[in-house]
Structure 1
Amino acid sequence: MESPVPRSALPTAEHRPAPARTGPGGARGRDEDGGTTAVTQPVLALDQGTSATKALVVCPERGVLASATVPVTPRHGPGGRVEADPRELLDSVVTAGRRALAEAGEPVAAAGLANQGETVLAWDPADGEPLTDALVWQDRRAAGLCEALAPHGPELQQLTGLPLDPYFAAPKMAWIRRELTRGGVVTTSDAWLVHRLTGAFATDAATAGRTQLLDLDRVQWSPRALELYGLADERLPEVVDCAHPVGVTTAFGPPIALTGLAVDQQAALFAHTAAGPATAKCTYGTGAFLLARTGPRPLRTGGGLVSCPAWRLAGAAEYCLDGQVYAAASAVRWLVDLGVLAAPADLDAVGSAVPDSAGVRFVPALAGLAAPWWRGDVRGSLTGLGLATRPGHLVRALVEGIAAQVVELTEAAERDLGAPAAALRADGGLTRSALLMQTQADLLQRPVEVSALPDATALGVAALARLGTDASLDPEEAAPPWRPSAVYEPAIGPDEAAARLGAFREEVGLLLAGTPGAPGPAGAAEA
Structure 2
Amino acid sequence: MTGPVLAVDQGTSGTKALVICPERGVIGTGSAPVNPRYSSGGSVEVDPAALLSSVIDAGRRAIADAGEPVAAMGLANQGETVLAWDPVSGEPLTDAIVWQDRRSEPLCAELAQHADDLTRLTGLPLDPYFAAPKMAWIRRELTRDGVVTTSDAWLIHRLTGAFVTDAATAGRTQLLDLDRVAWSPEALGIFGLADERMPEVVDADGPVGITNAFGAPVPLTGLLVDQQAALLAQSVTEPGTAKCTYGTGAFLLAQTGPRPRRTSSGLVSCVAWRLGGRTSYCLDGQVYTAASAVRWLTDLGVISGAADLDPVGSAVPHSGGVTFVPALAGLAAPWWRGDLRGSLTGLGLDTGPGHLVRALCEGIAAQVAELTDAVAADLGTPLSGLRVDGGLTRSALLMQTQADLLQLPVEVSALPDATALGVGAVARLGIDPGLTAEQAVPAWQPSAVYEPRIGAAEAAERLAGFRREVAALLDRTPAPPASTPAADDRTPPADG
Q: Considering the TM-score relative to the shorter chain, is it more than 0.5?
A: yes
Return the match for 1:90 from 32, 52, 62.
Answer: 52
Q: How does 1:288-367 map to 2 (within 5 A)?
A: 288-367=250-329
Amino acid at match of 1:524: D
Match of 1:32 in 2: none
The Cα offsets for residues 162-212 of structure 1, whole Å up to 9 and x where unpaired, read as: 011010000000001101111111110111111111111110000000000
Cα distance, 1:344 vs structure 2: 2.1
Q: Are 2:389 and 1:438 aligned? A: no
Hey, what does 1:403 align to over in structure 2? 365
1:161 partnered with 2:123: yes
Match of 1:250 in 2: 212
User: RMSD in angstroms over aligned alpha carbons?
Assistant: 1.5
Q: 1:87 to 1:319 in 2, by over 3 A?
A: same
How far, CA to CA, are the matches of 1:481 and 1:158 in structure 2?
36
Q: Secondary structure at the match of 1:243?
A: coil
Aligned to 1:419: 381
TM-aligned CA deviation for residue 514 of structure 1: 1.9
Cα drift, residue 524 of structure 1? 3.0
> Following the alignment from structure 1 to structure 2, what is the Cα–Cα distance between the partners of residues 263 and 438?
29
Q: What is the aligned counterpart of 1:172 among 131, 134, 138?
A: 134
How far residue 275 of structure 1 moved from its aligned partner, in angstroms, is 5.3
Verify the 8 A CA contact 1:509 1:523 in the aligned structure 2. Answer: no
Tell whether 2:11 aligns with 1:49. Answer: yes
Structure-2 separation of matches of 1:115 and 1:515? 34
Asked if the contact 1:56–1:68 (Cα under 8 Å) also holds between the matched residues in 2, the reply is yes
- Equivalent residue number for residue 103 of structure 2: 141
Q: 1:7 corresponds to which residue? A: none
Which letter maps to 1:466?
R
| 2-structure distance, mates of 1:410, 1:118 | 23
Moved more, 189-198 or 70-79: 70-79
C-alpha distance in structure 1 between counterparts of 2:490 and 2:410, whole Å: 24
The alignment partner of 1:301 has SS state of: coil
Superposed displacement of residue 397, structure 1: 0.9
* C-alpha spacing 1:71/1:58, structure 2 compared with 1 (3 Å): same
For these two proteins, the number of residue pairs brought into alignment is 485
Q: Partners in 1 of 2:192 and 2:111 — Cα distance?
A: 11
What percentage of residue pairs aligned between the two structures are identical?
74
Q: Judging changes above 3 Å, is the alpha-carbon distance between structure 1 residues 323 and 275 closer, same or farther for their aligned structure 2 residues?
A: closer
- State whether structure 2 residue 41 is matched by structure 1 residue 79: yes
The SS at the match of 2:457 is: helix
Q: Distance in 1 between matches of 2:208 and 2:299?
A: 41
Say if 1:261 and 1:524 are closer, same or farther in 2 by CA, change over 3 A: same
Q: Distance in 2 between matches of 1:387 and 1:145?
A: 45
User: What SS does the aligned partner of 1:471 have?
Assistant: coil
Please give the secondary structure, in 1, of the residue aligned with 2:208. Answer: strand
Q: Deviations over 1:133-182 (max 9, x none)?
A: 11111111111111111111000000000011010000000001101111
Query: Which of structure 1's runs of 4+ aligned residues deviate more than 2 A?
Result: 273-278, 521-527
Q: Which amino acid aligns with 1:140?
A: R
Distance in 2 between residues matched to 1:177 and 1:449, nearest whole Å: 44
Cα deviation, residue 525, structure 1:
6.9
TM-superposed deviation, 1:243: 0.5
Q: Is the 8 A contact 1:441 1:447 kept in 2?
A: yes
Segments of 5+ residues of structure 2 without an aligned counterpart are: 479-485
- Paired with 1:248 and 1:261, the residues of 2 have a C-alpha distance of 13
The answer as to 2:70 corresponding to 1:108 is: yes
Contact 2:85–2:93 under 8 Å retained in 1? yes
Q: 1:523 — aligned with what?
A: 488
Q: Counterpart of 2:219 in structure 1: which amino acid?
A: A
Normalising to structure 1: TM-score of the pair? Answer: 0.90
Q: Structure 1 CA distance, aligned partners of 2:11 and 2:346?
A: 35
CA gap of 1:305–1:515, structure 2 versus 1, over 3 A, is: closer
3-state SS of the aligned residue for 1:420? coil
TM-superposed deviation, 1:346: 1.6
Distance (Å, rounded) in 1 between the aligned partners of 2:488 and 2:272: 31
Partner of 1:244, secondary structure, is coil
Match of 2:245 in 1: 283
CA distance in 2, matches of 1:272, 1:362: 30
Aligned to 1:283, the other structure's residue is in SS state strand
Q: Tell me the equivalent position of 1:261.
A: 223
